[in-house]
A and B are shown apart, each in its own frame.
Chain A
């Protein structure tokens, strides 16, 4: 079973600065990785799929990169609405199963 590990658990960044979040897979997932943003009391929102493709309506300040086992979500200039929890996700073909990372909380410094 593939395990997804996100780091750091909490990231403190000032508005306007860049944030870099990491996700590591225990074995290669190729480019089959997605990122989600979740704000308190809300459902997760798809940001990135295929490791680097922005979902519909996602601002260009969000970008994803990586392949294989190492992935990064970068937010180029943090806005107040970006402070949230971010999850990475991959899908196992066998046994069929979605696996999420434990999340990174992005907080205001």
Chain B
């Protein structure tokens, strides 16, 4: 069974860069035709997709965050990472990583999720 685990600082200062890593276990991040996504959720609010990466390094980002987001992958460590620059209090949220599946008949969906990690932006 695939498992994902987010890690990184829980507190980031305004204007700095938020950095998180997702470690995948139970299977190789390079096996199969999967993207790997980041999603966030402010307290009491809905889900916002941040972006994703394929193991080739190809990325897609949410247009609303694109100027501040970088997602990378390290296949040797079975990890992918998120960097979000110039953070403000509005970036305070629980950040999730997830496996991103595509099927020609059923489209894209997120089948395995990490437990999430709370990142607070505050001085």
Looking at chain B's contact residues, the main secondary structure is strand
A102: chain B residues at CB < 8 Å are 46
Chain B residues near A45 (CB-CB < 8 A): 113
Q: Could you tell me which residues of chain A, from 67 to 98, have a CB within 8 Å of some CB in chain B? A: 87, 89-91, 95-98
Residue of A nearest to B49 (CB): A98
Give A1's nearest chain B residue, CB to CB: B63
Task: Give how many A-B residue pairs fall within 8 Å (CB-CB).
Answer: 73
Is B48's CB under 8 angstroms from A53's CB? no
Nearest CB in chain A: distance from B47 CB, A: 4
* CB-based nearest B residue for A43: B113
Q: Say which size band chain A's interface belongs to.
A: 20 to 34
A49 to B99, CA, bound (A): 14
Chain A residues, CB < 8 A from B96: 43-44
Take A50-B103, A91-B107, A97-B63 as given contacts and tell me if A103 and B113 are in contact as well, using a CB distance cutoff of 8 Å: no
Q: Is A99 in contact with chain B by the CB < 8 A criterion?
A: yes
CB contacts (< 8 Å) of A51 on chain B: these are: 106
A55 CB within 8 Å of chain B: yes
A46 interfacial by beta-carbon distance below 8 Å: yes
Q: Bound state CA distance, A102 and B45, in angstroms?
A: 8
Residues of B within 8 A of A (CB): 37, 39, 46-49, 60, 62-63, 96, 101, 103, 105-111, 113-116
Identify 26 residue pairs between A and B in the complex whose beta-carbon atoms are under 8 Å apart, listed by A's number: A31-B106, A31-B107, A32-B108, A33-B107, A34-B109, A36-B110, A42-B115, A43-B96, A43-B113, A43-B114, A46-B111, A46-B113, A49-B111, A50-B105, A50-B109, A51-B106, A53-B106, A89-B109, A91-B107, A95-B63, A97-B62, A98-B49, A100-B47, A101-B46, A103-B46, A103-B47
